[in-house]
Amino acid sequence: MSHTPDPWYNLLAYPDLDIDELSERSLFWQIESHHPFYMIKQDGTGKGISAANFFHEPIILKSGFWGNRVYLELERNFRIGMTYTSSVRFYLALYQYGNPTPTLFWVLDPAAELFEWEAEFEIKDLSPKLPFHVKLIIPDTKGGEIRAKGIFICDTASEPLPEVMVGIVTYNRKEYLAELLKQIEEMAYPSEKIKVVVVNNASSDGTDAMLASRFPGVTVLKNKENLGGAGGFNTFFRYLINLENRPPLAWLIDDDAQIDRYTLIHLVRVLLENEAFAVAGSVMMDLQHPSVVYESGGSLYHDRFGWKANILHREARDLQHIIDMERVWEVGYAGAYSFAFRTNVLDKVGIWRDYFLHVDDSEWCHRIQKLTGKKVVISNDSLIWHVLQGARKPFTFLRYYETRNFLDFFSVYSGKKATAKVLLQCIVMSIRQLIIKRRDLFSFHLSGIEDFFEGRFGKREIKRSAIGAKDMKAVFAEYEAVKNRKPEVVFLVREINHYVNDGIDYEAKIAEEIRELSPQTKIVEVSLHWDGATPRLGDAFLHLTYSRRRIIKLFKQMWKIFFHAEGIVVLPFWNEAIVPNNFACLTAVYEDKQFSLYWTDRKALLKSLFHVVKRVVSWSAKMLLKPYDVSASSGK
């Protein structure tokens, strides 16, 4: 018998059977049987599964949602193999997508001792564009069981895998970093072909000591200050460019990402199979909800501010009809949370622009496509799980970087007309923050615009002016310090639970705290979406509606901006609607499991609006009368 291939040659996306659980939500392996008379459990050694069937109907174990993309070329020799013990004869089959009958199947004989079975096969007269499912068919085990360790499918003509240099930028996240490095060590990729480089952005949490003691083989590059994602990865790029024997591929990954054994191999395989691809990115899953797809690359808008991400927060099983047919997606950008690229593109496109944070990876992907003609794609087999999502990363100071960096992007690639349009959008966004009282976020937008025109890039020291409050007790204390009394009413907007999305009922907790602090305070629950509900937690329920007549709507909004009722409004960070933010004189914005407080200040509002008008005149003059210098941000 020929030698069973090393796992990195496996064409099956997730061949392992040492899985935690099997269910309809399982990503990699699923049970396709309806009768209850069987038992499948993880093997006691932690390697593989054990299955016992007590019924005349077979158990069918099927490669799951992310494991069903087995692409096989016509008229090529392949090998399939499995390591198992079994008390009965059972079957292994290949089903092509949409075909209820097997394309090929094999009978596996009983084996009392661990047995390595394999066979050669060839595919003919079928569409090479359609993927295959792998199915394990287990009949009645007659009181015994089958122990399966894993399955492989490989191309007999597989080429050796290339060297890959891994680039990770870190800043005060040593625990996350340590977990990621441990997972990289356990990847199904030849360890001698992997070289890890960590760029330490002046961490102060003991990262250097941790790396020296636990990961001595990792190369550490130290920056004297925190240069952000862009500056950190540029340190890595310069290191790559200056190497005498540069590896053909490199992989960028966030220090707070988590991977599995096959994350990298699928990125590499995509690049090896098509020379037209320069960058291959991963699919980002939600760590708190592991079967939820968070993002799969996306596209930058070319006519307005922002980008459009693919598959934002959807259950994987709801996307099967899309993914089944598509192994690779061509996209406008792949996120640097995980993408592999050909290192020779650095010679032609240069390093990242000095954006510090945000838009840097998107701009670089756009530049690669523009200057090399090669494509950026997402490998739908390559998965990472990301932490620090949702409410733990409220969009506050990032507004500065997005405003500045998007204006720079448009000024370079789209000309003055598009840049002027994006500038107008940024001004409108800033004014919106102002009229909902969030004056610090208003200033972030304006500072981003100003620094774009002045050519100031890189890191900007940003401080928030919002008053911090760790709980409702602190919110009430702030109100009483100013008003010398407890609030008569609290408007509780029903969106916090959905915003945080972690299964905890924060709205009930807030209502309970209000009752304890001030039983006489009236709680009015507010919702922008009518669900026929009566008050769940409070004394009254308000369904917020807008008049269809625009003049009435405008009048109501203007009234709310300048004339606020007494009391407090509590709402989630992402609610930027004008009316609910201005229900009361104090707004408590729930973000990062605490509150940011904003008071009504009509004088400050009018003064800031006047300042915006003056700045718009100045910026318009700069756009029309003289060119602005953006060379300071160049990545070349």
Q: Is 95 helix (H, G, I), strand (E, B) or coil?
A: strand
Q: Can you tell me the mean pLDDT for 277-297?
A: 90
pLDDT of residue 629: 44
Q: Which two tokens stand for residue 383?
A: 């998965």
Last residue of a domain, one of 355, 388, 421: 388
pLDDT of residue 554: 56
CATH number at residue 142: 2.60.120.260
Whether residue 479 has pLDDT greater than 60: yes
Candidate from 96-105, 370-379, 604-613 with smallest mean pLDDT: 604-613
CA 591 to chain CA centroid, nearest Å = 19
Number of domains in the chain: 4
173 and 86 share a domain? no
- Which residues are registered as beta bridge partners of 315? 292
Rounded CA-CA distance 169/7 in Å is 28
* In-domain check, residue 409: yes
Tally of CB atoms within 10 A around 347: 9
Rounded CA-CA distance 576/395 in Å is 12
383 and 291 share a domain? yes
* In-domain check, residue 280: yes
Rounded CA-CA distance 552/547 in Å is 6
Digit-coded pLDDT (tens) for 114-138:
999 999 999 888 877 788 889 999 9
* In-domain check, residue 1: no
588 and 501 share a domain? yes
pLDDT of residue 636: 41
CATH number at residue 564: 3.40.50
pLDDT of residue 633: 40
* In-domain check, residue 2: no
Whether residue 324 has pLDDT greater than 70: no
pLDDT of residue 529: 72
449 and 587 share a domain? no
pLDDT of residue 610: 86
376 and 239 share a domain? yes
pLDDT of residue 510: 95
SS3 for 458-469, per residue? Answer: CCCCCCCCCEEE
Whether residue 557 has pLDDT greater than 90: no
Half-sphere exposure of 53 (CA within 13 A, CB side): 24
Tally of CB atoms within 10 A around 214: 13
Last residue of a domain, one of 155, 172, 189: 155
Q: 551 versus 215: which is more confidently predicted?
A: 215
114 and 204 share a domain? no
Host domain of residue 516: 467-600
229 and 341 share a domain? yes
* In-domain check, residue 620: yes
Q: Can you tell me the mean pLDDT for 516-522?
A: 95
CATH number at residue 281: 3.90.550.60
* In-domain check, residue 147: yes
Closest CA to 62 of 86, 29, 105, 26: 29
Q: Can you tell me the mean pLDDT for 507-524?
A: 95
251 and 346 share a domain? yes
Instruction: Give residue for tokens 């070319």.
Output: 302
Instruction: Give residue for tokens 């999305």.
Output: 501
Pair type for strands 289-295 and 314-315? antiparallel
Give the chain's radius of gyration (CA, Å): 29
pLDDT of residue 322: 67
492 and 411 share a domain? no
Last residue of a domain, one of 123, 155, 187: 155
370 and 474 share a domain? no
214 and 337 share a domain? yes
pLDDT of residue 1: 36
Q: Can you tell me the mean pLDDT for 154-174?
A: 91
Length of the chain: 636
* In-domain check, residue 380: yes
Whether residue 336 has pLDDT greater than 50: yes
Task: Choose from 90-94, 413-417, 529-533 the range with maximum mean pLDDT.
Answer: 90-94
* In-domain check, residue 62: yes
580 CB contacts (<8 Å, ≥6 apart)?
491, 493, 526, 528, 544, 569, 571
Burial group, residue 6, by CB count within 10 angstroms (0-12, 13-18, 19+)? middle
pLDDT of residue 44: 62
201 and 325 share a domain? yes
Q: Which two tokens stand for residue 633?
A: 């941000």
Rounded CA-CA distance 490/568 in Å is 5
In angstroms, the Cα distances linking 85 to 30, 52, 57, 113, 135 are 21, 12, 21, 6, 17
Mean confidence (pLDDT) of the chain: 87
Digit-coded pLDDT (tens) for 222-240:
999 999 999 999 999 999 9
Rounded CA-CA distance 437/431 in Å is 10
Digit-coded pLDDT (tens) for 247-284:
999 999 999 999 989 999 999 999 998 999 999 999 99
pLDDT band at 634 (very low <50, low <70, confident <90, very high): very low
